[in-house]
């Protein structure tokens, strides 16, 4: 009786081991992706005014900070 339970437990452990030990790493680079996809739009946004430079920089830093929070989870 205990032999079959032990075999089942071993089988379940071995079959679930890859799922439990796999580690996923998430790397988000949305700021870079946006700049690469829309280079002229990015340049235009930055060149529009002094305020737009500050806004674009703040927006990209916000995206990076939020991605960092997501990546740590």
pLDDT by residue, tens only, the chain of 73 residues: 455 666 666 655 555 545 544 555 667 788 888 889 988 988 898 888 888 888 888 988 999 999 988 888 8
Sorted by sequence, the CB contacts under 8 Å of residue 42 that are 6+ apart come out as 34, 35, 56
> Dmax over Cα atoms in the chain, in whole Å?
78
- Answer whether 30's CB lies under 8 Å from 42's CB: no
The residue with tokens 């680079």 is: 29
Return the closest-CA partner of residue 46 out of 57, 30, 36: 57
| pTM of full prediction above 0.85 | no
């Amino acid at each position: 009786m205990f032999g079959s339970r032990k075999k089942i437990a071993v089988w379940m452990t071995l079959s679930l081991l890859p799922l439990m030990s796999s580690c996923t790493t998430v790397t988000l680079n949305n700021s870079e992706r946006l700049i690469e996809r829309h280079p002229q739009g990015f340049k235009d946004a930055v060149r529009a005014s002094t305020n737009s430079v500050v806004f674009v920089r703040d927006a990209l830093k916000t995206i990076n900070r939020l991605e960092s929070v997501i990546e740590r989870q």
